[in-house]
Structure 1
């Protein structure tokens, strides 16, 4: 279970600095609109949403009505009903996105990149699916065709999130890489789907070397021993993707609005950053900086 007090304190500190600036930058149409205030603060709403992804509950409704409403009344004395809380979730999307950027890890010079499918409905229901019709698309992965999105991630050797991007499922894995790798340096390890000479040259100009395994019809190239070992450790990011889906539950087919779909995804990534033991290579370097110890 997540450390509720720690999460709330850090989220509340963020909201105190973020909310005034956010409201100053909001555009107004000039029309007078009734703004219904909530008894729950923004930091409380965000904390409850984030904590869901470390609660082991499979649905948010059962989590809220069966756990939060029963056992967290003392922590959240002004708790609202479940339907009202669902209405409040969409208002937390922009603050959650901003908070996620403050939870990114440090660039260490070693990065791993991968994409994972985010399925929004069963393939047989895709022709009649309406909610994501203008946003999602058909894509193909190792298990076959799917309908939905791709989540692109970059992590460092300690399993910390460095960059993330959501695209329709038909977007090529290589397309979002230049934007995601801004400010990064060192070595970036990916699978064969990232093989591209123009992409390699573009990243090399910013001191980032893209390293992938070769396809069968490509000429073999000699790699330094350290790079060769790390190409075999690319499963690290696949472990992160697996934990995001099976523990943080970034993927399910019960969404009723696009905003709440995004809230679920972003909050799951934030919850992952609070994980005490992330998948890691535990790299420790020899004093001559040539041989890694512990991988």
Structure 2
């Protein structure tokens, strides 16, 4: 399981964030003097609730109810001396949905190094054969297609650096083209330099738009396209694009960013955000040594 030092470190960062978040919220909040609002403290603070949500995604448990009742309330009484019932905790989760989104965007994203990788991964709301029976995310989830076939749900678009750190992310419906977030949204505003993607990001207009914004999009070409000259370094880095596939694999198999047990759309969003936050606290992330890899690949190509 997670060490006590790691738990303390996560709680400290989360608690310091809430101190600043509450200050800003009080500064800009609009209040009606005629309406009296009770500011009663809850048994568990928002920092504790968010910390528990992040700890769950470290991969030891597959069911949050078992994790909370069987581990937090039984073996972590020292770290969380006052806990509420599971049903009450589910209610408290809803209060940290927006703070969790701000926390991930402000505290959990890495810095661009000039070498970035982009990819999208499907998040299935249910099995494709049960799409018409699905009710929780009905009207929000859409039917889409990926390399593994058709699915019903959403797409998570990720951009990472060569250290495996998240640079930015965005969630779209399953039927949205992979290029749309780069065209019409601010997904690439935090990056510069080279951006490596798969063949799904091929597009002349997209390449020119990103190039104007200071981002050089590099992709492989399709079989029916004319060959084009490419720097040896770019060819080598395209071979390392599997790095982002490893990140997607850890998010799905360790952080459980994808499952079909959601009871509400708010719970679905909170599960994604807390999984991304948990990944940012991993001590070891998939990474590449760009200098050593380029030198090694260059020697092999020359030979």
Same-fold status (TM-score > 0.5): yes
1:8-65 C-alpha deviation (Å, 9 max, x unpaired):
0111111111122124444558765666642111111110000000041001111111
Q: Which residue of 2 aligns with 1:175?
A: 180
CA distance in 1, matches of 2:20, 2:296: 41
Aligned residue pairs: how many? 290
- Normalised by the length of structure 2, the TM-score is 0.91
Residue 209 of structure 1: how far off its partner (Å): 0.5
1:131 counterpart = 2:172? no
Contact 2:168 2:190 (C-alpha < 8 Å) held by counterparts:
no
Q: 2:117 aligns with which of 92, 100, 112?
A: 112
Matches within 5 A, 1:63-74: 63-74=67-78
Q: 1:246 aligns with which of 235, 242, 253?
A: 253
Q: Which residue of 2 aligns with 1:210?
A: 217
1:190-225 C-alpha deviation (Å, 9 max, x unpaired):
000000100000000022100001000001112111
SS of structure 2 residue aligned to 1:292 = helix
Q: Which residue of 2 aligns with 1:292?
A: 294
Which has the higher mean CA deviation after the structures are superposed, 21-30 or 213-222?
21-30
Q: Which residue of 2 aligns with 1:231?
A: 238
Q: 1:191 aligns with which of 177, 186, 198?
A: 198
Residue 183 of structure 1: how far off its partner (Å): 3.7
- Normalised by the length of structure 1, the TM-score is 0.93
Q: 1:97 aligns with which of 97, 101, 108?
A: 101
CA distance in 2, matches of 1:72, 1:93: 24
Contact 2:110 2:167 (C-alpha < 8 Å) held by counterparts:
yes
1:140–1:31 distance in 2 versus 1, CA, 3 Å: farther
Q: Which residue of 2 aligns with 1:42?
A: 46
Listed as ranges, the gaps of 5+ residues in structure 2 are: 298-303
CA distance in 2, matches of 1:8, 1:141: 38
Contact 2:236 2:294 (C-alpha < 8 Å) held by counterparts:
no
Residue 124 of structure 1: how far off its partner (Å): 2.2
CA distance in 2, matches of 1:183, 1:294: 30
CA distance in 2, matches of 1:153, 1:112: 8
1:260–1:36 distance in 2 versus 1, CA, 3 Å: farther
SS of structure 2 residue aligned to 1:284 = helix
CA RMSD of aligned residues (A): 1.8
Q: Which residue of 2 aligns with 1:8?
A: 11
Listed as ranges, the gaps of 5+ residues in structure 1 are: 286-290
1:220–1:138 distance in 2 versus 1, CA, 3 Å: same
SS of structure 1 residue aligned to 2:160 = strand
